[in-house]
Structure 1
Amino acid sequence: MKDEVFAQGLGLQVHIRTKIVGYWSYIQSIAIQIGDDILEIEGSADTEEGDDDGAHPHYWSNYEYQGHLENVAGFPVTQELSSTASYKRSYTIDFSDKYSTGQNITVETYKEFVRVRFNGDESIFGNTVGLLGDCKTGKTYARDGVTGMEDLVELGDEWQVLPYEPRLFHESSHPQFPDKCLKPEGERNARRLAEESPSVGTISMEHKQQSLARLL
């Protein structure tokens, strides 16, 4: 996801990394760049010494592990450890100073799982492009901004990070372009069945939108 004119030209880039577990996958880490600042957050089930509940923060601020974190490009960042659920932590980048109250990006971690929420309207996210599609219509497009894409697997490959794009994560991870993104085993089997019997692979637009919503 990106918006080159976000916040009056600061720019916004959001990259995610997923992990394959047999027949399914989940978001393991996310990197958010605003202006020249980068915040990377990773889910982890590992505990560290003196960390009995396993809720130790795993983040990098401008590539520095657990670096000083008060803001990203001037937008305040708050961390919150859940009082009711161990292993659960949230990070919120607050855009209220420039936009209306309640508009933010919130990243939540629960053990190794990561979820991101883009809380805002067209005034803040109206120019974004990427996996989430058009902010106004929800339609998903190729990089050219014109070609519609309904197949979520093809959409993921289309928006894979390319060599000329910024490196947001503190370290590289396989696969890298031109190698394609890894797919869950269930997805590979489903696509093979769809090729052998087209009716088997028919999925409604509503189901596709629900699947994409669960992705981020």
Structure 2
Amino acid sequence: MKFFSLGLIATLLAAVNAINEEEERGNIGGDPHITTWKNEHYEYHGQCDLVMLQDDEFADGLGLDVHIRTKVVRHWSYIQGVSIKIGNDVLEIEGSPDAEDEEAHYWFNYEYQGEVEDIAGFPVIMKKQIAYKRQYILDLSPKYPGKDITVELFKEFVRIRLHGNEAIFGNTVGLLGDFKSGKTLARDGVTELDDFGDFGDEWQVLPSDPRLFHQSSHPQFPEACIRPEDPRGERKRRLSESIVSVEQAEAACDELKDELDRKDCVYDILATQDLDMVGAF
């Protein structure tokens, strides 16, 4: 599975609980594209393990941790894997760059393809559309009816979508920002970081955070996250050498309803030179 870095879809019906509670959605995917709880959109290009979400009090104290692993490719990066911990259970998921790969790449409690029906009592639903496009739906309905965390894989790209409200995710911290204020807060819960590169670096996984991935990957703190060199200049140069044009990318992504999704889709197609990347959205 690739990086940050590029791919997840969770389509959940908001109408079920919208009568009583306002819903918020946060997601992260692409190379990587991040949408905060307050629908602010930013990108983080770097390679390391990052805290997407953390809440020690989730589900009456079970606790929730979601870490992503990103990887740099030339001037951009993508989500290579995601690992989710609830209670004492850990589910790690990766994609595969091989379009013919029929194998599901996941670890449950650090065992490859370990038998998994639920994670801390929340059912896990696995859906395979085609070899390189899969969904892992973590159904939160036992406690939060109609809500879930969905991981979507498209080739090696991972996307994570969260469907819930303040009652579920209101106390989370991490790359999606503060739920209530929308501010991109540092780990101290007070300092607001306006530079998204610095904000991403701030949420690098530390030794004090739980170990969620079955295998360590470079870099690990205290090594800093790896940043691509001259991402703007390299991006411009490679665009001039592209086989897929901007117009072709825009036409491929035109079917997407959300404006931000269309923008991210165009960027991902141009970065990967793969028109099929529209399938990641």
TM-score, length-scaled by structure 2: 0.63
Distance between the aligned counterparts of 1:31 and 1:121, measured in 2? 21
Correspondence for 2:61: 9
Distance between the aligned counterparts of 2:109 and 2:140, measured in 1? 19
Distance between the aligned counterparts of 2:126 and 2:182, measured in 1? 30
Residue 177 of structure 1 deviates from its aligned partner by 0.7
Q: Which runs of 5+ in 1 are unaligned?
A: 48-52, 191-206
For residues 42-99 of structure 1, what are the alpha-carbon distances to aligned partners after superposition, in whole Å with 9 as ceiling and x for unaligned?
A: 111247xxxxx323210000000000010000100000011xx541000010011101
Q: Where do residues 26-37 of structure 1 align in structure 2 (5 Å cutoff)? A: 26-37=78-89
Q: Where do residues 1-216 of structure 1 align in structure 2 (5 Å cutoff)? A: 1-46=53-98, 53-82=100-129, 85-101=130-146, 103-187=147-231
Residue 155 of structure 1 deviates from its aligned partner by 0.8
Q: Which runs of 5+ in 2 are unaligned?
A: 1-52, 235-259, 268-281
Give the match's secondary structure for 1:109: strand
Matched residues, percent identical?
60
RCO higher in 1 or 2 (8 Å CA, sep ≥ 6)?
Answer: 2
Distance between the aligned counterparts of 2:194 and 2:96, measured in 1? 32
Distance between the aligned counterparts of 1:130 and 1:88, measured in 2? 27
Runs of 4+ in 1 over 6 A off after TM superposition: none
Task: Look up the equivalent residue of 1:121 and give its one-letter code.
Answer: N
Task: Look up the equivalent residue of 2:62 and give its one-letter code.
Answer: L
For residues 4-35 of structure 1, what are the alpha-carbon distances to aligned partners after superposition, in whole Å with 9 as ceiling and x for unaligned?
A: 00000000001100111101111010000000
Task: Look up the equivalent residue of 1:123 and give its one-letter code.
Answer: A
Count of residues in correspondence between the two structures: 186
Residue 187 of structure 1 deviates from its aligned partner by 4.0
Distance between the aligned counterparts of 2:88 and 2:232, measured in 1? 38
Contact 2:95 2:132 (C-alpha < 8 Å) held by counterparts: no
Distance between the aligned counterparts of 1:57 and 1:106, measured in 2? 16
Give the match's secondary structure for 2:200: helix
Distance between the aligned counterparts of 1:67 and 1:86, measured in 2? 20
Residue 152 of structure 1 deviates from its aligned partner by 1.1
Task: Look up the equivalent residue of 2:215 and give its one-letter code.
Answer: E
Task: Look up the equivalent residue of 1:179 and give its one-letter code.
Answer: E
Distance between the aligned counterparts of 2:181 and 2:141, measured in 1? 24
Task: Look up the equivalent residue of 1:95 and give its one-letter code.
Answer: L
Residue 186 of structure 1 deviates from its aligned partner by 3.6
Distance between the aligned counterparts of 2:150 and 2:215, measured in 1? 23
